[in-house]
Structure 1
Amino acid sequence: MPETAERVLPTTPSTPGRAATARRPVLLVAAVVAVVHLAVATRYGWHRDEFYYVICGRHLAWGYVDQPPLTPLLARLAAALPGGVLPLRLLAVASQVGCVLLAPMLTAEFGGGRRAQTITAAAIAACPVFVASSLLFGTTVVDQLVWVALLVLVARALRLRSTASWLAAGVTAGVGLENKDTVAVLLLGIAVGLLLLRREALTLAGPWLAASVAVALAAPNVIWDAAHGWPNLRMAQVLSSGEGGPLGSLEQLPVLAVLLAGPPLIALWVLGVRWLASPIGRAHRWVLVVAVVSVVVFTASGGKSYYPAPALAGLFAAGAVRVESMGRSRGRTGWPVAIGVSALVALLIGLPVLPLSAANTMRQLNPTVIETYGWPGFVQQVRLAAAALPPGTPIFTSNYGEAGALAILGPAEGLRQPVFSGQNNYALWGPPPGRPEVALCVGEFDPAQLGRAWGRVTEIAPIRMNGVNDQETQFHAAIYVCREPRGSWARLWPALVHDS
């Protein structure tokens, strides 16, 4: 439908106008977020996933077995800059700051004023799942930014009813699908919400053009997945099994509601649910549908508990509007205290602000923090073992984190042997050529498994991560010298590959 034809359509009576943007307080919250995150951005070091994203980016493709190509491409570009892991962390912080800036715009679309927008920005800044995700650069923190941006753009498109505003949402959706497949669930929630509550929007050309653009932008990754036998679906099944399937996800719902959202902030998103369910919030109730669909789909599919977490931004925005409508006399000090407590919890469990021993103790709450520590020492230990072997001896690791650490940190330490692994996309890249007369195997291996590939397997030393209780030390990870192969690498490879 032409743009001029859309303009003559009457405005939906139940759609309120957008409130003015509260720039100063929101920018202040965003600045505080940036300063806090940057202060500890490189305190420990790389995370195993960051190594993997960079290595994937060095093998440019339209897809990988466990993610679309956007984050690996960005990680490769960032890692090419000086500063080690800092450029990647700058991308992570920028994504978190983007969420803090965008979520108040959704509040403004709901009609929320200065106070409501400030509360929304502060809630995102203090929410543990947003804070913890921005510790490292990866698909999750970018996914959060995409979700919040899409919620804002769809709300804006519903208000403006213009093709251009819908196309902006379509482009964002398409780019988001090239980062993480979970955006498809967000789009499903939006579609269901519009069909149930804003059906008049579907009579316009805008939503359909937006969907077409999103599909076109996502197509290269879908084609790659199809050409490789849909490994992303197999990986999703592996991850679901690791979470205990749908029953395990159902058991984790209280975790999402309490720990990830921030215990003091539960009241805010509950108020958001009530406001969206009330007559005054009817025009924006599709946001509630998005949250419900996200929780139902990810639970039914056995997804990780944090997958639907970005939908909290919509509930926080609605809850802040409700708080503002109560008047300043109610909650004048209560909300700042609640947000401050949540921020403290988020900092302690989500960022490397504690001494190493304390972070190690709190590993059960969030293992991600401690997994950013100890990699230089790991590389040194492997380098010493490799020095006793013939030059060019291949190194075979049990997981992508170990392989990535050796490939990225190793050259600066004098470790230049080729590194391989059988996990995830490393398995797809394949083995080295020839016959593995001598191989250095590093990681969590069953010696019996190695014995099926080599006739002589000798454990050199257990892997030490400088006292850190991470994946390498929770299990028996060690360095092995393997000799007398029972075949070529190509023959041994099928028995060495594995998923997460």
Structure 2
Amino acid sequence: MTEIAESALPAIPAPSTPGREPTAWRPVLLVAAAMAAVHLAVATRYGWHRDEFYYVISGRHLAWGYADQPPLTPLLARLAAALPGGVLPLRLLAVAMQVGCVLLAPMLAAEFGGRRRAQIITAAAIGACPVFVAASLLFGTTVVDQVAWVAVLVLVARALRLRTTWSWLAAGAVAGVGLENKDTLGVLLLGILVGLALLRREALRTAGPWLAGLLAVALAAPNLVWDAAHGWPNLRMARSLAAEQGGQLGSLAQLPLLVVLAGPPIVTLAVLGVRRLASAAGREHRWVLVAAVVTVVVSTAGGGKVYYPAPALAALFAAGAVRVESTQWRQDPSRGWGRAARPLVASAVIAVLIGLPVLPVGAADAIRAVNPTALETYGWPGLVDQVRQAAAALPPGTPIFTGNYGEAGALTILGPAQGLRRPVVSAQNGYAIWGPPPGRPDVALCVGEFTPDQLHQAWAEVTEVAPIRMNGVHNQEATHHAAIYVCRRPRGTWAQLWPALVHFD
């Protein structure tokens, strides 16, 4: 603590040399290949995730923005879904993003002065970290956000070393693309700015960082313009998500989960990273520690989810690996790899068990409190079959109105192959902005998390056909009593009913 207090006041002098350790590509690539092999072995063991349905459908409504995310992930999801193989191309994209993190993080260790051993440990830590492993279970904004965060950290560290405008512009370009994926990257950029202002002020006296910022804003501008033109639905979504998890108090209560997300066996590595950056040896790169602290504070204050700032762990792992290399190996070279490997292997086993679909469904359901994500990839074909059977008794062309985007996506993407060919409508998030269909819903098959009272606001006659069965798992549909209803005698046209049906959550 004394070291932090004494060194937090003056800015760190610029480094005298532009050199850095070369990247140990061969062992780092081996770590990435091993990680990718584990992911690919179980990539399609369960099935689609509700968010993957939504990203693909969103990509079919190309725009510069959506109610709950910028356009990059939906665009990539649409391109991947156009390839043969069902959900597999999306999972390949997710694994590629995880591989990107495994390859980039050792480069950050090299920027911190880490040699071959530190870089291998850093790559292995990313591959064994539950928050990185679980995010790459499915393709979505989170796994893309992770690789964007790590890339920006690497490029900013590189720009500070090289002190050239072009190196700063590279960081700005990646940041701008990352902002077109998820707004949370803006919190990292704020943290970096604070870190530079406190500890590397000489960099802010040059044009490079400011030109990088302008480039990032320019690349993110189309989404900002779209959001403004549609009444800032992303802010509405952020408030809704914060309220769902209890606002600032809810985020604060979840902070201890960062230890689980980091991986209990390797959380010591992150702690060593903090100690390294807080020591005299880490003065030059201490801005990273400030950035990490700012991301956690801002995310918590904004009621964000606990995993939002988690990609900053890559910087702490990298710094911790440098400390391990410079101390443990020097003290006892013969035991260095053994001491480093044991926690990494233990964390990898935990990460795979709780983050990937390797367990029997019943076992995954039993540990759903730790990670419910895998359960949201199971049971969709059964839901589609239930809806198909209910729809068979209704006139051809009867619309299906769903309670959430997951149900709508499953019926749209999986339905035709299972013989269900009906128009599918929803009023959640992006579906709400795309608007209602034309005409009047004289008869509608309503599917999802409704209560009869909710449906009676739009239809005078509501009949429950059957509850939705999700094959024994406790996912969102099972825990909210999703059911199938036949609704008749509407109280208006779709356009008239729409405002009461819309919901953002």
Tell me the TM-score range normalised by the shorter chain.
Answer: over 0.9
AA at the equivalent of 1:22: A
Among 450, 453, 465, the alignment partner of 1:460 is 465
1:151 counterpart = 2:156: no
Whether the 8 Å CA contact 1:17–1:111 is kept in 2: the answer is: no
2: CA distance between counterparts of 1:253 and 1:467?
31
Among 114, 117, 120, the alignment partner of 2:116 is 114
1:308 counterpart = 2:309: yes
Corresponding position of 1:12 = 14
Q: CA deviation at 1:17?
A: 3.1
Q: CA deviation at 1:285?
A: 0.5
2: CA distance between counterparts of 1:394 and 1:213?
45
Corresponding position of 2:288 = 287
1: CA distance between counterparts of 2:314 and 2:223?
27
Q: CA deviation at 1:12?
A: 2.5
Corresponding position of 1:216 = 218
Between stretches 135-144 and 445-454, larger displacement belongs to: 445-454
Percent identity, please.
Answer: 77
Between stretches 200-209 and 54-63, larger displacement belongs to: 200-209
2: CA distance between counterparts of 1:497 and 1:135?
30
1:486 counterpart = 2:488: no
1: CA distance between counterparts of 2:497 and 2:29?
56
1:403-460, CA deviations, whole angstroms, 9 ceiling, x for partnerless residues? 0000111111121111011111111111111111000000010101111211111111
AA at the equivalent of 1:345: I
1:264 counterpart = 2:265: yes
In structure 2, runs of 5+ residues without a counterpart are: 1-12
Corresponding position of 1:326 = 327
Whether the 8 Å CA contact 1:96–1:141 is kept in 2: the answer is: yes
Structure 2 matches for 1:341-420, cutoff 5 A?
341-420=346-425
2: CA distance between counterparts of 1:269 and 1:158?
23
SS at match of 2:137: coil
Whether the 8 Å CA contact 1:168–1:210 is kept in 2: the answer is: yes
Structure 2 matches for 1:130-209, cutoff 5 A?
130-209=132-211
2: CA distance between counterparts of 1:373 and 1:288?
39
2: CA distance between counterparts of 1:178 and 1:281?
32
Whether the 8 Å CA contact 1:117–1:320 is kept in 2: the answer is: yes
1: CA distance between counterparts of 2:87 and 2:94?
11
Q: CA deviation at 1:385?
A: 0.8
1: CA distance between counterparts of 2:275 and 2:355?
29
Corresponding position of 2:10 = none
Q: CA deviation at 1:16?
A: 7.1
Corresponding position of 2:47 = 45
1: CA distance between counterparts of 2:113 and 2:175?
24
Between stretches 449-458 and 83-92, larger displacement belongs to: 449-458
Q: CA deviation at 1:13?
A: 3.6
1: CA distance between counterparts of 2:93 and 2:296?
28
Among 409, 420, 435, the alignment partner of 1:430 is 435
2: CA distance between counterparts of 1:394 and 1:197?
60
Corresponding position of 1:275 = 276
Count of residues paired in the alignment: 489
SS at match of 2:484: strand
1: CA distance between counterparts of 2:380 and 2:150?
33
Q: CA deviation at 1:265?
A: 1.1
Corresponding position of 1:84 = 86
Whether the 8 Å CA contact 1:116–1:324 is kept in 2: the answer is: yes
Return structure 1 stretches of 4+ with deviation > 2 angstroms. Answer: 11-17
Q: CA deviation at 1:488?
A: 1.1
Among 490, 498, 504, the alignment partner of 1:499 is 504
Corresponding position of 1:255 = 257
SS at match of 2:462: strand
1:99-140, CA deviations, whole angstroms, 9 ceiling, x for partnerless residues? 000000000001100110000000000000000000000000
In structure 1, runs of 5+ residues without a counterpart are: 1-10
SS at match of 1:469: coil
Whether the 8 Å CA contact 2:114–2:321 is kept in 1: the answer is: yes
Corresponding position of 1:31 = 33
1: CA distance between counterparts of 2:404 and 2:14?
54
Corresponding position of 1:94 = 96
Corresponding position of 2:8 = none
SS at match of 1:84: coil
Whether the 8 Å CA contact 1:396–1:439 is kept in 2: the answer is: yes
AA at the equivalent of 1:128: P
Q: CA deviation at 1:14?
A: 6.2
Whether the 8 Å CA contact 2:459–2:487 is kept in 1: the answer is: yes
AA at the equivalent of 1:279: A
1: CA distance between counterparts of 2:460 and 2:84?
44
2: CA distance between counterparts of 1:381 and 1:33?
37
Q: CA RMSD in A?
A: 1.1
AA at the equivalent of 2:242: S
Whether the 8 Å CA contact 2:192–2:290 is kept in 1: the answer is: yes
TM-score between both structures, scaled by the size of structure 1: 0.96
1:190-233, CA deviations, whole angstroms, 9 ceiling, x for partnerless residues? 11111111111112221111111101000000000000111100
Whether the 8 Å CA contact 1:350–1:369 is kept in 2: the answer is: yes
Q: CA deviation at 1:334?
A: 2.2
